[in-house]
Copies of this chain bind each other. A is one copy, B any other.
């Protein structure tokens, strides 16, 4: 049966995802994976007592549960975003926030600017709308201001999509000055900012985390938050905080696409975040991940220090490791796979052709034990050195 005549152009062009295929390998029992973007389930707390949450059974409001929206208002206030619950939409993960934003503004005639590299599942949803996704030169301090100005003037984008804190995959964290410059430029050019901030609480150093949206004065903005990296990703709870003008559109799309996000998850999140256990839980997460981060930094330095380059990330889950001497990340990934070690090559993370798109490995430290990490990096060392000969 051939259905290609039924599909839209965007659907027909949906790419087989290299990452999806690779992540299938991660389920093999003998596979040592540094590839996934999963947080550590051993650090996830038990659910609160569920027996009282019967009010979650009936259909609910498209905007989300009032208590959770009010909680998000206070979380936003704590980080410098002053809003009301009318501008808070609860989504099924921040991935859905990206989808809703894309539905509203992107089509085959649109361009959206992203960092280079960027979160690949964001590109998937932008592409599904048929948009032109254009990477803008970025370094370890974030997107380059001259490059952004140039890209805005040339491609008249609908929006700029940024992950300023501990980006997946590159791990960068923008400094305050860069954040201010970006905000000023977007205000000057009246460009919509979509700011995606799922990793902010996985913070291991004293770094600036000011939301760029909180620095903007006039241009439109959407701020996406998530509970997935700090609590229970399987429950699918995230949120969009929006400038006033967007709010009614966001909720109309939400209603059309899945009516509302599941209520039990919202109640569970609200209950835990409001409890006394929450601050201690965050602190524990940060401590545990910091230990793993430091262990990976040590392993990389000792075993690979002469053949790769990397910056130690101040938060998040990933090391973004550059292979020296023009080695191919894809070839390294393939050889490592033969030795039952799974790593992600950088190619899928570059929306636009880029000279370094095959030069990096993304290594996650969130879910591996320190001994697994050590074993995996030893094997990587063998593989990389073999390739250099």
Which residues of A are at the interface with B, using a C-beta cutoff of 8 A? Answer: 1-3, 6-9, 11, 14, 17, 20, 38-39, 41, 44, 46-47, 50-51, 53-54, 56-60, 91-93, 95-96, 99, 103-107, 110, 121, 124-125, 128, 158-159, 192, 218, 220, 228, 232-236, 243-246, 249, 252-253, 255-265, 268
Contacts and interface: CB of A to CB of B under 8 A. Distances in A.
A59 B233 contact: yes
B236 A261 contact: yes
A234 B1 contact: no
A253 B14 contact: yes
A124 to B, nearest CB: 4
Contacts of A259: 93, 95, 121, 236
B236 A1 contact: no
B257 A95 contact: yes
Contacts of A244: 1
Contacts of A252: 14, 17
Nearest to A108: B107
Contacts of A159: 6
A1 B243 contact: yes
B256 A121 contact: yes
Contacts of A57: 41, 44, 47, 232-235
A251 to B, nearest CB: 9
A349 B7 CA distance: 27
A233 B58 CA distance: 5
Which of A44, A103, A246, A260 has most B Cβ within 10 Å?
A103
A235 B264 contact: yes
Which of A38, A59, A91, A258 has most B Cβ within 10 Å?
A258
B105 A11 contact: yes
Which of A38, A128, A256 has most B Cβ within 10 Å?
A256
Contact of A256 (B125, B220, B243): B125
Contacts of A249: 3, 7, 11, 14
A51 B46 CA distance: 8
Contacts of A235: 56-57, 262-264
Given A92-B92, A128-B257, A236-B259, 20 more contacts: A2-B245, A3-B192, A3-B249, A6-B220, A7-B249, A8-B104, A11-B105, A14-B249, A44-B57, A57-B233, A60-B234, A92-B261, A93-B258, A93-B259, A95-B259, A234-B264, A235-B263, A258-B258, A264-B264, A264-B265
Nearest to A37: B59
A87 to B, nearest CB: 12
8 contacts: A1-B243, A3-B246, A44-B58, A47-B53, A50-B51, A56-B234, A92-B262, A121-B256
